Amino acid sequence: MTTDLNAAFTQEKTEQIEAVREEARAFQERIDRGEIASIGGDRYRVLTGWDEGETFTVRRNTQGQIEQILAQHGLDTTTGGAALYTTTPAWHGLGAVIPGGITDIDEVLKLARIDWEVSKRPVLYKWDDGIRDATDHYVTLRTDTGNALGTVGDRYKVFQNRRVFEFLQDLVERDDALWESAGALRGGRKTFVTMQIPHSIVIDRGGLDDEIALYLAAINSHDGTSSAESVVTPWRIECGNTERFATRDAVHRWGIRHTKGGLSALEEARRTLGLTLDYAKAFEREENQLVRTDLLIDDFHKLIDGVWTVDEDATDRQKTFAQQRHDELEGMFHDGARKLGRTAYAAERTITDYLDHRMGVVPRNLSEDLARAQRSLEGTNDDLKSKAHRKLLLLAR
């Protein structure tokens, strides 16, 4: 069994497109529950789950009912087509799809519609019928369209799109790397490139065969709002949403400042990559320990109580929340155990799935005291996942 976040993401979006009416009803229900919030007009943002932060535009009929949901891919379409090259069809169906991938950088740049460069020009302004130069202020612009991308300072160094590909090649010390995806977002203000690294995490090899593929991605900013960034992540970038998910769920990341020597610090980057792969191997060993550890239902109850502690002086409302969460988690564990067995690994997957997909979000119209109560009960997702992992490892050992 292979766990592929990219395939899950593609399947999710395909289902949304193919089952518009059913999804519209579900979408409205999520709005009603406070899991999705309006951000103006008919645009909405997801507030919880693994697609947290994703934005949608909806179209309504004359009765005000949702008829169509349009996920925002965020890809650059300046030159008429979507700026994307990918080895696997994306959920939105856009871009150049090359099964198996290619190694030639120039060909990928062309297919991804990012075979343009960025120029840095002085900022000029009009004053008293004359043109003046704004000292130490420059505009970055695309050389194919002349479109401005952002304003930067004198020390800002432009990282050309091709150079970022070469940086990843140098980083892995291979000039025959297969490129998984590449493209541009927000009119070219951001570009990205992804390659799969030959080190995946396999849990219970020969049994569950739960494999998590890892990708090495570089995300470059041309508008001066952020550093370039390289991340090891389970996400193949193919739109604005997966770009955000890739940085959110990165196993490790390192920033690259837009300075003269920014792309030259390869030794530090290689050291970080090595540490990341060591971490992945250690994580794989720990997960396999959990697979081999049987778990009684009483142990699962203790895990829930240990992850989400409820004070003796908790209010009735807090206790009600806690019991509802306890019942939902127990039901999820029983369902997961049919496939994974009654193991510590099944317990961890239950906790993770609950935090990513089920845990409620406080609607904006709730009172402040209720909002504080629920936030206090639920804590922060990453901390709770780590807490559960540590407790289960103690049982495994």
Q: Name, of 19-28, 135-144, 193-202, 280-289, the range with top average pLDDT.
A: 135-144
How far is the C-alpha of 246 from the C-alpha of 384, rounded, in Å? 20
Residue 197: the pLDDT is: 76
With vertex at residue 288, the alpha carbon angle to CA 282 and CA 292, rounded to the nearest 5 degrees, is 145
Query: What's the sign of the alpha-carbon dihedral 279, 282, 286, 288?
Result: positive
Query: What's the sign of the alpha-carbon dihedral 85, 90, 92, 97?
Result: positive
How far is the C-alpha of 155 from the C-alpha of 135, rounded, in Å? 12
State which H helix or E strand residue 71 sits in. Answer: strand 66-71
Top pLDDT among 121 and 75 is at: 121
In the DSSP assignment, the letter for residue 339 is: H
Count the residues in the chain.
397
Beta bridge partners of 217: 194, 231
Contacts of 250 (CB under 8 A, 6+ apart): 231, 232, 233
Strand order of the sheet with strand 190-196? 96-97, 84-86, 179-185, 190-196, 215-221, 228-233, 252-256
What does the pLDDT average to over 309-336? 89
Q: What is the DSSP string of 287-336?
A: HHHHHT-B--HHHHHHHHHHHS---TT--HHHHHHHHHHHHHHHHHHHHH
Contacts of 278 (CB under 8 A, 6+ apart): none
Residue 239: the pLDDT is: 61
Query: Residue 232 has which token pair?
Result: 């090891």
Contacts of 306 (CB under 8 A, 6+ apart): 387, 391
What does the pLDDT average to over 33-38? 82
Model pLDDT for residues 80-108, shown as the tens digit of each residue: 888 999 998 876 677 899 998 998 999 99
What does the pLDDT average to over 280-285? 81
With beta carbons less than 8 A apart as the criterion, state whether 67 and 24 touch.
yes
Model pLDDT for residues 178-191, shown as the tens digit of each residue: 898 999 988 999 99
Contacts of 331 (CB under 8 A, 6+ apart): none
How far is the C-alpha of 352 from the C-alpha of 357, rounded, in Å? 8
Residue 370: the pLDDT is: 37
With beta carbons less than 8 A apart as the criterion, state whether 84 and 95 touch.
yes
Neighbour-count burial of 91, counting CB atoms closer than 10 A to its CB (0-12 exposed, 13-18 middle, 19+ buried): buried
How far is the C-alpha of 340 from the C-alpha of 332, rounded, in Å? 12
Q: What mean pLDDT is reported for the chain? A: 79
Backbone angles phi, psi at 228, to 5 degrees: -70, 160
What does the pLDDT average to over 210-235? 81
Quick one: which of 354, 222, 197 has its CA closest to 277? Answer: 197
Query: Residue 258 has which token pair?
Result: 């837009």
Beta bridge partners of 148: 141
For residue 203, give the 3-state DSSP assignment.
strand
Residue 375: the pLDDT is: 36
pTM: 0.62
